[in-house]
Every structure is written in structure tokens, then in C-alpha cells.
Amino acid sequence: MTARLLTETPQLTVDEHLAAHGPPPFADTGNGTGGRAGDSPLITAVERSGLTGRGGAGFPAGRKMRAVAEAGRRAGPFHSQVGTTVIANGAESEPTSGKDKLLLSRAPHLVLDGVVLAAEAVGATRAFVCVHDDPGRLDEAIVSRERAGLNRVPIQVVTVPPGYVAGQETALISLLNGAGPRPTFVPPRPAERGVRRHPTLVQNVETLANIALIARHGPDWFRAAGVAEAPGTALVTVTGTVARPGVYEVPLGTTLGAVLDRAGGSTETPQAVLAGGYFGGWLTLPAAGGLPLTDQALRAAGGAFGPGVLIVLPASACPLAETALVTGYLASQSAGQCGPCRNGLPALAEALGLLAFGWAGDDGLHWTQQLLGLVSGRGACHLPDGTAGLAHSALTTFADEVRRHLQNGPCDRIHRPPVVPVPESPAPDAAGQAKRGAPA
């Protein structure tokens, strides 16, 4: 199947982009054109396409766009002068994922077309592209589009301070509102009240690139790839012990084994795959190879699609040690404002560390399981849920390993360098100031 989002070309200039894709059509909205934003044909097309968000949660993109458009209409004429906002989430704070950086570096104009089209469709008056590091010389790309008349709403690039939770949608809104990138409790959801208390559409950059393609080619074209319950293609980052780690564009529903084969297959006897990244779950290999790559199927088996991450763990690695290291990193990323997260995640990381690297005893296992219950569902963002989900997945998928560790202490494999990439980065920048670009 021909790639839709990714090309082999290093970076398409605006002229190359227009030659490859043609000009972006108008979303035909109520944004100054006299129509009603909620009636946007683009929103209907995105709903029909079945496109789901590619940032991790997999929420239907058309439904979110409609909610924002309707919230903007309800807010009335005063609101429309101030403005609904679109945020393109290119933070990619998941350390195991590389797809958003690659997409922004190869096809920034496809993402920016999606930003403009989504903004028009929901009646937004401005847009922000949020990135940790700008992988696509976005400022230059925006200027070159200006000359080509493609920026039909003002677009500003905002640098997001480091940190795992900084890419969460309410953290981005908090940043754009002039505070640090700290998540806030919902409701109100961003669709109702976001930047400057106005309706805000937050979409992942890959989702927006797909919106740009759906605007051009329609929902049936989009559905021609993928499967009925998970249409389209997705960018998948494959890493761990595979011959050719990297980002692959694959039709959803492709089997997990076929995706690993595209990455050259495992270079060592495989043991498991971490499906969905840090908020995902472990699936044993080769059994999981036949699973279709859809969030539904992966979740039913104990994994997740998440932001499209597959990490192959060889038999020579200790899955408990790998999980403990990731959990330690996630605990270090707490924004520190919700008690169960601030206190519970370090305790969970310590308990898992003891299980993997020390002598936990039966009490240790019991305590770990108790902690899972104490942190789950107890934060403003899903950091505690995601961390507990990964830990739970390790305890159940590798129950035999847990028993062996409890009986015999740490295994020899803990001395192997970790397979799952874990940044050394310290706690997030609590002050959370954007280096540039926070709107006035």
C-alpha cells in the first residue's frame, strides 16, 4: 500500500507539498463566511471517516471537532471575536515514540494544512503548534505558507518545557494560559473551556495530517485502508530488539507480527512486546503476533495501541526490571499536585524495584498490588492510571517471573542493559515556563 502520511523525501517545501497533494480545500465553515460552524462538511467527513486520535487515547476526531464547534456556537457572538483555539499537539512526550517528530520533519505542511482546515471547521480564530523541540523548522514553514496564502488562520509555534505530562492536553492549555504545563481536572473539558476559557480543540499532529488528507480525498478514500473498526493508516514506532527500528506507516488491522517483520523481525529470541508505550501493556511473543493492530484487539489482549508504539523484549531481558525502570521514570514525572500521584507513584516504583532487583517477599507483592488500587483513577491526568496499568500488566503477564523472583531473588538478566528506552531526565521543569511563544 502506498504511504499516505510519510514520504521518503527529507522535507517537502511548500511548493513540493502543493505539487504532491494539491492545495488544501476550504473547510467551508461559519468562521466569518456566514455559515454555521457546526454544519461544516469537513466535520461530517471526518466523522464518516472513522478517524480516531493518534495521540494515545484514540478518541473519535470528528466527534471532538463537533463538540468544539457547537461549544463555540453556544458561546455566542462575543465569543467569536475572542476566539475558539486549535492546538496541534506535537509534543510527543512519550520517550519511546518517534512518529510525530518524523511527521513534522518530513511533512510539516500536511500537518499545518490540517491545523488550518480544523480551525476553519470548528470556527477557530487562531492556532498553536506545541512541540518540545521543533523538528520541522516550523517557523520557516509557516512563513513560506504565508507567502503562498495558505495560513488562513494565524499559527504560532510554542515550545513546551520538558516532561512526560507536559504533552497532556490540559497541561498544554495551562501553558498557553501563562502558567506551567500542569494538567488540570476535567470537567470542564477543553472542548468547553480551554485557552483563555474558550472552547479549544486539541488534536495530535498525526490526527491533523489525516484531517488534511480527508479534506482532500474524502472519508471513503480514508476507509480504503485499515479495517472497519479501525480505518486508515497509522504511524507506528517499532523499537527494542528488531533489525530495523524506526517509524512505519501501516494500515490499521495489519497483524502485529507483520509489522514486526517490516522492522526486520526480532534479532534475538523474543519474549514479549510492550504494545502502546509506557501507558500500554505487555503481550507475550510469538503468541501476540497474530493480533490485528487495532486498539480494540490489543486492549482485549492486555496491551494498547496508544500512540502507536511496539517495543520487542528479548528472552535475555528481565521484564520486571524493564517495568521497574519505566515506572521509576514515570514516578519522577509527577507534576506533584495530586497526593496519590505524588506519594503513590514513587512508592509503586520502589515496590517494583524491590521485586525486580531485591528481595520483596510475599508482603512486597501484596503491597505492590495494594498500591495499584490506591493510585488508580486518582489524578487530574492519567499518569497514575497509565503507570498502574503498566505495572499491573507486568505482574499478570509475567506472573511466573514474579514467583521466581520472590523465591530466588533477582535473576541474572537484570545486568543486561535495558531494552525499553528510558530517558535519564530528572523531574519535569516544575516552573514550566515556555521558552518562547506563550501567547499574550
Nearest to 247 by CA among 135, 92, 106, 99: 99
Q: Which stretch binds ligand FMN (CB under 6 A): 111-119, 165-173, 288-296, 390-398?
A: 165-173
Which CB, 265 or 346, lies closer to ligand SF4?
346
Q: Does position 166 bind ligand SF4 by CB under 6 A?
A: no
379: three-class secondary structure by DSSP: coil
Nearest approach, Cβ of 174 to ligand SF4 (angstroms)?
10
Residues 363-382 within binding reach of ligand FMN (CB under 6 A):
381-382
Q: Which of 70, 134, 169, 295 binds ligand FMN (CB under 6 A)?
A: 169
In the block, cell 479549544 appears at 200
Q: Would you state the cell numbers that stand for residue 430, as one nine-digit string?
A: 516544575
Nearest approach, Cβ of 196 to ligand SF4 (angstroms)?
21
Q: Binding partner of residue 327 among ligand SF4, ligand FMN, none, CB under 5 to 8 Å per kind?
A: none
Query: DSSP readout, 281-318?
Result: EEEETTGGGGSBSSHHHHHHHT---TTTEEEEEETTS-
Nearest approach, Cβ of 379 to ligand SF4 (angstroms)?
2
DSSP state of 161: P
Q: Which of 142, 383, 390, 420 binds ligand FMN (CB under 6 A)?
A: 383
Q: Which of 31, 168, 174, 397 binds ligand FMN (CB under 6 A)?
A: 168
Q: What is the largest CA-CA distance in the chain?
A: 72
Amino acid at 231: P
Q: With CB under 6 A as the rule, give the number of residues binding ligand SF4.
A: 14
Q: Which stretch binds ligand FMN (CB under 6 A): 19-27, 103-111, 200-208, 393-401?
A: 200-208
Q: Per-residue x/- mask for ligand SF4, residues 373 to 412, rule CB under 6 A?
A: ------xxx-xx----------------------------
Q: Does position 335 bind ligand SF4 by CB under 6 A?
A: yes
Q: Does position 336 bind ligand SF4 by CB under 6 A?
A: yes
**Beta strands 84-89 and 124-131, pairing class:** parallel
DSSP state of 23: P
Q: Binding partner of residue 11 among ligand FMN, ligand SF4, none, CB under 5 to 8 Å per kind?
A: none
What is the total residue count of the chain? Answer: 440
Q: Does position 151 bind ligand FMN by CB under 6 A?
A: no
CB of 328 closer than 8 Å to CB of 353: yes
Residue with smallest beta-carbon separation from ligand SF4: 379
- The distance from CA 76 to its chain's CA centroid, rounded to whole angstroms, is 32
Q: Binding partner of residue 27 among ligand SF4, ligand FMN, none, CB under 5 to 8 Å per kind?
A: none
In the block, cell 461544516 appears at 40
Residues 183-202 within binding reach of ligand SF4 (CB under 6 A):
183
How far apart (Å, rounded) are the C-alpha atoms in residues 384 and 165?
Answer: 11
Q: Does position 144 bind ligand FMN by CB under 6 A?
A: no
Which CB, 189 or 216, lies closer to ligand SF4?
189
- The distance from CA 319 to its chain's CA centroid, rounded to whole angstroms, is 23
Q: Which of 83, 167, 219, 231 binds ligand FMN (CB under 6 A)?
A: 167
Amino acid at 46: V
Q: Which of 242, 341, 354, 356 binds ligand SF4 (CB under 6 A)?
A: 341
Neighbours of 359 (CB within 10 A): 12
Q: Which of 165, 283, 285, 434 binds ligand SF4 (CB under 6 A)?
A: 165
How far apart (Å, rounded) are the C-alpha atoms in residues 314 and 321?
Answer: 13
Which CB, 114 or 251, lies closer to ligand FMN?
114
Q: Which residues pair with 204 in a beta bridge?
A: 89
User: Radius of gyration over alpha carbons of the chain, in Å?
Assistant: 22
In the block, cell 528472552 appears at 315
Nearest to 398 by CA among 315, 333, 338: 315
Nearest approach, Cβ of 385 to ligand FMN (angstroms)?
8
Nearest to 251 by CA among 306, 292, 307, 310: 292
Q: Would you state the cell numbers that stand for residue 2, as one nine-digit string?
A: 502506498
Q: Which of 237, 334, 368, 393 binds ligand SF4 (CB under 6 A)?
A: 334
Residues making contact with ligand FMN (CB under 6 A): 53-57, 59, 89, 91-93, 164-165, 167-169, 202-204, 207, 381-383
Residues making contact with ligand SF4 (CB under 6 A): 165, 183, 334-338, 341-342, 379-381, 383-384
